[in-house]
Structure 1
Amino acid sequence: MSTTADATLLKTPLHALHLELGARMVPFAGYSMPVQYPAGLMAEHLHTRAQAGLFDVSHMGQLLLKGPDAAAALESLMPVDVIDLAPGRQRYGLLLNDEGGVIDDLMFFNQGEVEGEHTLFLIVNGACKAADIAHIQERIGSRCEVRSLPDQGLLALQGPQAAAALARLVPEVQQLVFMSGGQFDWQGVPLFITRSGYTGEDGFEISVSAAQAEALARALLAQPEVKPIGLGARNSLRLEAGLCLHGNDIDTTTTPPEASLNWAIQKVRRTGGARAGGFPGAGVVLAQIDDPASLKRKRVGLVALERVPVREGTPLQTEDGQSAGTVTSGLLAPSLDKPVALGYVAPHLAQPGTRLNALVRGKAVPMEVAPTPFLPPRYHRG
């Protein structure tokens, strides 16, 4: 495939660097993005698990919500505790539609008082960002300022050596623990850094002005532990970590209980009290949490018992040939050297150990329902 991409595609601030590094570029979320570098997906994946990988995630949407009502306003859009999130802390959130379907999943951070105004920082998925920002503006724009940050790049540094590498540039990041963050300075360049990511490893996400993103990326790649990593390995890393990809494993037709995301809905939003419910689709979502038997399907992990990769869209059957569900993400997991997948099955088939068959090109590949994550996470909790 060509190392250039369609001229209509948007480019991240690191586009020229990707080409210089020999990346294979593909269209993704409207951008020209690196899917892999010359070392290849497998090597990039294993390097991230062993040392540190640098990802360009500048296609993601970054925005600020500002004003005294920002937390309560955002809480009205999600089944998540926003109001009680402490300054300096980050949380996973779900934007829902009025039927309880997942418009997008996102990360939000309480920056506390910034220039005299309470400020929340949000990162949303690249393919959804225009619709997300429009949705947020329409629903709560009268309650707080909704400010998009199109001139910011976003880098992710992930892996067990990420902290050692980043600390040579920004020593203070060593004080951070998983899902915390803050404002930092690198050679006079302001950085907003959180200790989080999408790989199951320790790591950081770094918001930096687009004009300074390439200089920061080069400084990180100069560290002996760090190599550039493309979208291919980002996908295999997140799947081993059991993390959902919006558009595959969750979408506007799936509710959080169907997607096995009840853990993301804090008790204060579920039961009793003034803040229970009150979010889009609350009637549907809370009824499903209260009565799990009402679910028609449930997201599960799956491990193939033969070395045959089972891809997105593959149908699942019971051992006696009855329709059981569908695979939504799947590949040969590099760290485990066996095929793993996420998919939806009927709830009575969701118990770990349940045997199913995946129909791959007409052949029945035996699979077993398995707990996720497939690989234990290594987040730095202090």
Structure 2
Amino acid sequence: MALWKVTSAIARREAACPRFARAFSAGLKRTLTYEEHIKEGGKMVDFAGYAMPVQYEAKGSKHALSIIDSTKWTRESASLFDVSHMCSIRWTGKDAFDFVERVTTADVYGLPPMTGGLSVITNERGGVIDDTLVTKCHSKEHGEHVYQVVNAGCATKDLKHFEEQLGKFGGDVKMEVMWDNRGLFAIQGPKAMEVMQRLSPSTDLKAVPFGECFWAKLEGAECLVSRCGYTGEDGFEIFVPGDAAVAVWQLLSSQSEVRLAALGARDALRLEAGLCLYGHELDEDTTPSEAGLSWVVPKARRDGAKNKFLGSDVVLGQLADKSKYTRLRAGLMPASGPPAREGADIETPDGQVVGKVTSGSMSPCLKKNISIGYINKPHNKQGTDLQVVVRGKKYPAKVTKMPFVPTKYYKP
């Protein structure tokens, strides 16, 4: 089921009564901008143990948009998301690069300074423990180091895994966890660069490609700004010191091009962009090759790299021989009927089950139902006619190229 569908009855009551929202959120963690969400009529839901907005509904506010309108606004202008529930880790020490290359598929040594990208944390079987952003950073205080971001819902197990691997690895490595003591905001959309250029004039953003980062002073605070995102649009993720989080949020949200967006739009946007969501498209029994993420294993990590990552024999074996795995992540576009959501069977026209849907919803931008699923070979090929089973009824569907909506990652 799409994220924005969860706890809708509670969310409606919260929008009508902020005091109810606070009571509902009492047992949940809160980001530093929680009160800002409440002021804007945030419909709060439990997401990975945090009280997070699924959309905003304050009467008379420019940010009060439906999930459909919020998704479209992101594609046309710029939207601001609070993603502070995600966990950040700073790796320092002379052996930090080696350790990060042990627990992820990232080519840390090969990354230019102030550059990063998507990677995966793997287990001994080559399965994905979590997807993660790995960036090689430099600062006056910490020198050259690795800055990593992991999913909130996986953070506890990720940190436990890292602690276990540190015990086996030894060496000079320090893990500094930054979770609830800093803000992490994402501004996404075609006008995101215009907004950030105005607020950080000392850096020429036309020269900063997707995947690079820089330091910017916002509201007097030194912030790490990474050109990346989870929407398929150009955009930036901004790591803000805790004492400046509210001020920077207010600064960003006050810009004329910007509207607040939340979990509902975020899920719709990532689905349109054909991006994976952990627990849906990714889990510990799914390998990068099966997930269509072979590119997160750079060439330097494939050719007999001396510092092998966990599960590298399995992962590299699948990269070298595609017959070693039998299913692939693929896009589906049903021709009619309701959206095919997580768990729906995917069948051949004669009724043979050949896969499962992992995510699905109506696309606000395409005004069509779209789904992602795992499909057995050779039925995963684009253009293949299949059918999906929704509430006992069968509807024709076609395997479709992803992303469903073209991505717009910036290159100078």
Correspondence for 1:148: 177
What displacement does 1:113 show? 5.7
Correspondence for 1:290: 320
What displacement does 1:345 show? 0.8
What displacement does 1:348 show? 1.0
Q: Deviations over 1:340-371 (max 9, x none)?
A: 11100102111100111110111111111111
- Cα distance in structure 1, aligned partners of 2:100 and 2:142: 19
What displacement does 1:53 show? 0.3
What displacement does 1:72 show? 1.4
- Cα distance in structure 1, aligned partners of 2:251 and 2:141: 30
Amino acid at match of 1:249: E
1:129 aligns with 2:155: yes
Correspondence for 1:280: 310
- Cα distance in structure 2, aligned partners of 1:82 and 1:140: 17
Pick aligned residue for 2:281 from 234, 249, 259 = 249
Over the aligned positions, Cα root-mean-square deviation in angstroms equals 1.4
Superposition TM-score, scaled by structure 2 size: 0.89
- Cα distance in structure 2, aligned partners of 1:28 and 1:341: 22
- Cα distance in structure 1, aligned partners of 2:130 and 2:182: 20
Tell me if structure 2 keeps the 8 A contact 1:68–1:117. no
Amino acid at match of 1:228: L
Of the structure 1 ranges 316-325 and 4-13, higher mean CA displacement relative to structure 2 is found in: 4-13
What SS does the corresponding residue of 1:122 show, helix, strand or coil?
strand
Amino acid at match of 1:233: A
Correspondence for 1:64: 90
| Equivalent residue runs for 1:105-116 within 5 Å | 105-112=131-138, 114-115=140-141
Of the structure 1 ranges 206-215 and 170-179, higher mean CA displacement relative to structure 2 is found in: 170-179
1:371 aligns with 2:401: yes
Correspondence for 1:41: 67
| Equivalent residue runs for 1:1-382 within 5 Å | 1=10, 2-3=13-14, 4=21, 5-38=24-57, 39-112=65-138, 114-115=140-141, 117-140=143-166, 142-143=170-171, 144-150=173-179, 151-173=181-203, 174=205, 175-272=207-304, 274-275=306-307, 278-306=308-336, 308-382=338-412
- Cα distance in structure 1, aligned partners of 2:399 and 2:202: 42
Of the structure 1 ranges 305-314 and 196-205, higher mean CA displacement relative to structure 2 is found in: 305-314
Tell me if structure 1 keeps the 8 A contact 2:90–2:175. yes
- Cα distance in structure 2, aligned partners of 1:146 and 1:273: 24
- Cα distance in structure 1, aligned partners of 2:410 and 2:315: 32
Q: Deviations over 1:321-346 (max 9, x none)?
A: 00111000111111111111110010
What SS does the corresponding residue of 1:336 show, helix, strand or coil?
coil
Change (3 A) 1:83 1:62: same
Amino acid at match of 2:256: P
Tell me if structure 2 keeps the 8 A contact 1:67–1:117. no
Correspondence for 2:3: none
Structure 1: 5+ residue stretches without partners: none
- Cα distance in structure 2, aligned partners of 1:21 and 1:80: 39
- Cα distance in structure 2, aligned partners of 1:311 and 1:114: 48
- Cα distance in structure 2, aligned partners of 1:187 and 1:329: 39
Q: Deviations over 1:31-54 (max 9, x none)?
A: 000001122100110000000000
Tell me if structure 2 keeps the 8 A contact 1:303–1:367. yes
- Cα distance in structure 2, aligned partners of 1:331 and 1:238: 11
Superposition TM-score, scaled by structure 1 size: 0.96
What displacement does 1:272 show? 3.6
What SS does the corresponding residue of 1:367 show, helix, strand or coil?
strand
Tell me if structure 1 keeps the 8 A contact 2:90–2:146. yes
What SS does the corresponding residue of 1:104 show, helix, strand or coil?
strand
Q: Deviations over 1:252-276 (max 9, x none)?
A: 111111111111111221234535x
Change (3 A) 1:215 1:113: closer
Structure 2: 5+ residue stretches without partners: 1-9, 15-20, 58-64
- Cα distance in structure 1, aligned partners of 2:244 and 2:143: 26
Tell me if structure 1 keeps the 8 A contact 2:25–2:44. no
- Cα distance in structure 2, aligned partners of 1:117 and 1:153: 22
What SS does the corresponding residue of 1:348 show, helix, strand or coil?
coil
Tell me if structure 1 keeps the 8 A contact 2:91–2:175. yes
Change (3 A) 1:256 1:211: same
- Cα distance in structure 2, aligned partners of 1:243 and 1:145: 31
Amino acid at match of 2:32: P
Of the structure 1 ranges 358-367 and 55-64, higher mean CA displacement relative to structure 2 is found in: 358-367
- Cα distance in structure 2, aligned partners of 1:190 and 1:125: 24
- Cα distance in structure 1, aligned partners of 2:139 and 2:187: 27
Change (3 A) 1:116 1:10: closer
Instruction: Figure out how many residues of one structure are paired with residues of the other and give that number.
Output: 380
